[in-house]
Chain A
Amino acid sequence: DTGVSQDPRHKITKRGQNVTFRCDPISEHNRLYWYRQTLGQGPEFLTYFQNEAQLEKSRLLSDRFSAERPKGSFSTLEIQRTEQGDSAMYLCASSLAQRESDTQYFGPGTRLTVL
């Protein structure tokens, strides 16, 4: 399978713990995006990378959140001191970005539950 993969698929944690999620994009894609979906809402943008550079961050991305893409390939999203409000589906997507409107291909998501 050469699509976008995410790990883990599910994560249950206690409030106050740190969690880290991984995203492996489609190999030739240079753009990588993180979105979050909470119950009853559409996916909301968190941040995106072009190669290893983080080009944009949403106001939703508080200082407890950090994302990296060290070699321009896979990316990690870390949430420190998790809160119950962080419970959501975290989606990763990648695109080739030859044109700005190119399709973003999504992974299956990581569902986070904070108890």
Chain B
Amino acid sequence: ILNVEQSPQSLHVQEGDSTNFTCSFPSSNFYALHWYRWETAKSPEALFVMTLNGDEKKKGRISATLNTKEGYSYLYIKGSQPEDSATYLCAYYGGSQGNLIFGKGTKLSVKP
């Protein structure tokens, strides 16, 4: 059974704080790791697709790193803003199936 773990489950920070989350995934048969941001009542929004060991991607104040050998990815948010409040999901793609395997997500709340 392929398992994707995310930590922490939830996080409460003050506006301006920087924060990071972890996603652990199987290191075998790795093809890609996806990060999504899901705000309440909206569609999950694709943030990054990462495929290469050592990959680093950045989108504004959000960045992510990837270690495929040890099976983890970090998502960083610099200077959190209230609009960053959302659930952040990571999803592993192993190539032997057509679907993504999601973690349970990290719910971020940013207080003004």
- A residues touching B (Cβ–Cβ < 8 Å)? 3-4, 31, 33, 35, 40-45, 48, 50, 55-56, 58, 91, 100-109
Residues 78-106 of B at the A interface (beta carbon under 8 Å): 89, 91, 93, 95, 97-105
Q: Which of B41, B95, B103 contacts A42 (CB 8 A)?
A: B103
Report if B42 contacts A (CB, 8 A).
Answer: yes
Q: By DSSP majority rule, is chain B's interface helix, strand, loop, or mixed?
A: loop
Contact A48/B99 with A100-B93, A103-B34 known, Cβ cut-off 8 Å: yes
Q: Name the CB-closest residue of B to A40.
A: B104
Q: How far is the CA of A56 from the CA of B42 in the complex (A)?
A: 27
Interface size in chain B (residues, C-beta < 8 A) = 26
Given contacts A56-B97, A56-B99, A101-B93, contact A4 B43 (CB under 8 A): yes
Judging by beta carbons under 8 Å apart, are A106 and B43 in contact?
yes
**Which residue numbers of B lie inside 8 Å of A, CB to CB?**
4, 6, 31-32, 34, 36, 41-44, 46, 49, 51, 89, 91, 93, 95, 97-105
A57 CB → nearest B CB, Å:
10
Q: Point out the residue from B49, B99, B101, B105 that lies within 8 Å of A101, measured CB to CB.
A: B49
Which residues on B sit within 8 Å (CB–CB) of A50? 98
Task: Check A109 against B43 for contact (C-beta < 8 Å).
Answer: yes
Across the interface, name the chain A residue whose C-beta is closest to B4.
Answer: A42
Q: How far is the CB of A115 from chain B (nearest CB, A)?
A: 22
Give 7 nearest A-B pairs by CB, closest first: A42-B102, A101-B32, A45-B99, A106-B44, A108-B43, A103-B46, A42-B104
A104 adjacent to B43 (CB under 8 Å): no
Cα separation A109 to B49 with both chains bound (whole Å) = 22
By the criterion CB–CB under 8 Å, are B49 and A43 in contact? Answer: no
